Amino acid sequence: MDKLRIMSVFGTRPEAIKMAPLVKELKNREGIESLCCVTAQHRQMLDSVMEVFGLVADCDLDIMTPRQTLSTITSKCLTGMDGAIERLKPDMILVHGDTSTTFAGALSAFYHQVKVGHVEAGLRTYDKYSPFPEEMNRKLVTQIADLYFCPTKNNRDNLLREGVKDGIFVTGNTVIDALKTTVRDDYRFSTDVLNTLDYDGRKVVLVTCHRRENYGEPMKNIMTALRDLAVQNEDVELVYPVHLSPVVREAAQTYLAGTPRVHLIDPLPADEMHNLMARAYLVMTDSGGLQEEAPALGKPVLVLRRETERPEAVEAGTVALAGVRYDDILRMGNELLRDKNAYAKMAHAVNPYGDGNACRRIADAIEWHFGRRSERPADYLP
Ligand code: UD1
Ligand code: UDP
């Protein structure tokens, strides 16, 4: 029997981190040829992940340009994908999450009548502009996909309510699979400042902020609140690996540079980031991925967004929405830094997002779908 040709398509840092363990799992299956096509919507931040996880692309569309627009990303991905699909002839294309690469990858697969598996399917806020453009990307991919790999039961229920009838699997999130391979007690950082921080004696606050819907006023509010948190709390060391987007870097320079105890550093390799998170006191972020990783590591998270498509950890009590207003962020940050009881209530490890076996379930589901396995994998229902 011919091997199944399964092509994973991704382009940004978070997609790469979450697809890396799946590409490897598929490689280990005898009946599967695991192919990897990167759009390189991110260049340096993607290359860093490829290096950390030892991935090599079969095809690299190399589309990134400085200050790229949504239209440019989508159109360049679509054009590039034509050649990749014609050359690599996949039986199925896997896309991840909700970026422009995700949407263009799925649309291109459809144009070529290639089946689509959507990894991290079913997340929703039901607000089309928040997150922007991600909420629309993932809804559009839902219309195209054949298989849906939902991290949680709640994600599955969203799809069922929207009328998706077949092909849904609850698998857990592959980010937990990735985290299991990177976090180690004896990890030594290669970024100097991270080795000099006193993680026991000081309160290390790990910050990230990059979302398009936060550009402008919200980002100003977030960053000035973070600055004042550092100024008002002498036991805090605020570490912010700044995304390479020029818009974000300019804002960080304007509002945070030069503030005592604020460390603006370059984006970290994924293993450095995960180990820093494991030692941090508190995480403040507008990232999606960090909202899944930090709870698994027992770290409280304040989300710097108006809403979240990841309500599971909010329900479990380890994640709280701080919003994008200066007063709210400062108040909630100060509460967690100063009130031990408030902190203790949030600082416990929960794993609503997976048990580290998501990739095995996804690979099993693909084999089952193509008639190469007799049993449908059981859903992950913790
Ligand atoms: C993208 C995704 C977003 C995801 C985020 C993860 C879209 C529309 N947005 O947003 O969903 O949360 O990635 O980080 O798909 N840049 C570099 N080098 C890099 C990466 C980025 O220089 O390695 C700069 C470039 O100038 C680029 C800009 O950052 O034009 C913005 O990158 P882009 O992928 O368009 O948007 P993100 O905000 O990163
Ligand atoms: N991350 C990283 N280095 C950094 C910042 C984040 O490796 O300097 C990781 C983080 O641990 C998570 C992922 O990148 O796995 C999240 O990516 P990002 O915040 O860019 O995107 P989002 O999850 O919001 O789409």
* 54 CB burial (10 A radius; 0-12, 13-18, 19+): exposed
For ligand 1, whether the C-beta of 48 sits within 6 Å is no
Determine the average pLDDT of the residues in 264-292.
98
So what's the pLDDT on residue 382? 86
Virtual CA dihedral for 244, 38, 62, 269, nearest 10 degrees? 30
pLDDT digits (tens, 9 = 90+) for 120-135: 999 999 999 999 999 9
Is 307 a known active-site residue? no
Active-site residue, 120 included:
yes
In which residue are the tokens 């945070």 written? 256
Residue 210 annotated to the active site: yes
Q: Catalytic one among 42, 243, 279, 360?
A: 243
CA of 237 relative to ligand 2 center, distance in Å: 20
Q: Measuring from atom 24 of ligand 2, which residue has the nearest CA?
A: 287
67 lines ligand 1 (CB under 6 A): yes
Ligand 2 contact via 17 beta carbon (within 6 Å): yes
DSSP state of 212: G
Q: Which ligand is nearest to the Cα of residue 17, counting in written order? A: 2
CA angle in degrees (0–180, nearest 5) for 237-241-245: 145
Mean model confidence pLDDT for the chain: 97
Residue 243: active-site member:
yes
pLDDT digits (tens, 9 = 90+) for 51-83: 999 999 999 999 999 999 999 999 999 999 999
Catalytic residue among 210, 274, 361, 369: 210
C-alpha Rg value of the chain to the nearest Å: 20
pTM: 0.98
User: Which among 5, 43, 124, 212 is annotated as catalytic?
Assistant: 212
Mind listing the pLDDT tens digit for each residue in 294-352?
999 999 999 999 999 999 999 999 999 999 999 999 999 999 999 999 999 999 988 89
Cβ–Cβ < 8 Å for 103, 137: yes
Catalytic residue list contains 212: yes
37 within ligand 2 shell (Cβ under 6 A): no
CB of 74 closer than 6 angstroms to any ligand 1 atom:
no
Q: Which of these is catalytic: 15, 33, 60, 98?
A: 98
Ligand 2 neighbourhood includes 290 CB (under 6 angstroms)? yes
> Does the active-site annotation cover 360?
no
Atom of ligand 1 at shortest range from CA of 288: 12
